[in-house]
A = this chain, B = another copy of it.
Amino acid sequence: MPSEFELIARFVRAFPGCSPSVLAGPGDDCAITRPRPGRVLVSKVDQVVAGVHFGPAFRPEEIGHKALAAALSDLAAAGAKPRWFLVAVAHPPELPPEFLDGVARGMARLARSAKVDLVGGNFSRARELSLAVTALGEARPDQVLGRSGARPGDWLLVSGTLGDAALGLRRLAAGRPARPDPFVRAQLAPEPRVALGEILGRYARAAIDISDGFLQDLGHLCARSRVGADVRLDELPIRPAVRRAGVELALAGGEDYEILCAAPPERAQALLRACRRRGWPMSRIGEIRAGEGIRLLDARGEEVPLPARRGWEHFA
């Protein structure tokens, strides 16, 4: 098999050029990058492991894409502009180098569209393929977002549609279709809301990415903000095929790389308008209230019981 240095050189070839902010990148011991003055640094590590986060239905390009997408989605929820990333690749020695070329290509394509530079990495032997991506971004100190900060009266908004990736996973159980439908694609190659993240801090007070499951992540946001939430079931953006397959896919299915945020009504309305202008799907789904816990309400305002499972538990 190729040496570590050959593998690095092959991998890096998929990433031609870096922005001027990169003073030293792959090939040096450390990455050296120039931060924008007056910004805070926003960082996130995420890891995908064979058999846990991706299965045999995934093409190498999709594995690379998804590994980076997961980290970028969290940066977007923090209202950060992604700048740079590092990746630790662990792989079985018998994995063909062409497979890793595909991983690099998928990662590079997303990196290009998100305008983020690969600046460092590490290769190691292991029994199974895994990719740990550390994404680094920047935000204005007064616009950076976390789970805390939501207040009673804030509107709850969510991007995109819920449950698509979970339905896609279910469909993949029968094998990869010749032409993946939008649900299967949402599972194989989710698009992180990078552009939304770059404007989110102007409007929202708190935000979270809902990749662990809508209810679970809303629960985190409420707990850290010390508030409760009312969610109107019929306002949730759920495609008919997902509703038919079971609304719990939308509530708790996980792997929707969408952004849930809380904003005071006027700024929430402005955010909805800003998204509409850009053609980005964004829905008002409920309100933050005093107290604690999540209430699911039907069209008549009656409370609906919460499902027992609220999200994706990596160790379940």
Contact, CB under 8 Å: A313 / B4: yes
CA distance A123 to B52 in the complex (A): 12
Task: Tell whether A187 is near chain B: CB-to-CB under 8 Å.
Answer: no
CA distance A48 to B123 in the complex (A): 10
Among the listed stretches A78-86, A164-172, A240-248, A293-301, which one makes contact with chain B, having 4 or more residues with CB under 8 Å of it?
A78-86
Task: Tell whether A306 is near chain B: CB-to-CB under 8 Å.
Answer: no
Task: Tell whether A175 is near chain B: CB-to-CB under 8 Å.
Answer: no
Q: What residues on B are CB-neighbors of A47 within 8 Å?
A: 88, 90, 122, 124, 132
Q: What residues on B are CB-neighbors of A51 within 8 Å?
A: 127
List A residues 12-35 near B (Cβ within 8 Å). 23-24, 27-35
Residues 31-62 of A, flagged 1 when their CB comes within 8 A of B and 0 if not, give 11111010111111111110111000000000
Selected from B93, B130, B137, B141, the residue in CB contact (under 8 A) with A315 is: B93
Contact, CB under 8 Å: B23 / A125: no
With A30-B77, A314-B123 already in contact, the answer to whether A23 and B49 are too (CB < 8 A) is no
Contact, CB under 8 Å: B4 / A314: yes
Q: What residues on B are CB-neighbors of A7 within 8 Å?
A: 315
Contact, CB under 8 Å: A30 / B314: no
Contact, CB under 8 Å: B52 / A30: no
Contact, CB under 8 Å: A84 / B209: no
Task: Tell whether A188 is near chain B: CB-to-CB under 8 Å.
Answer: no
CA distance A83 to B52 in the complex (A): 32
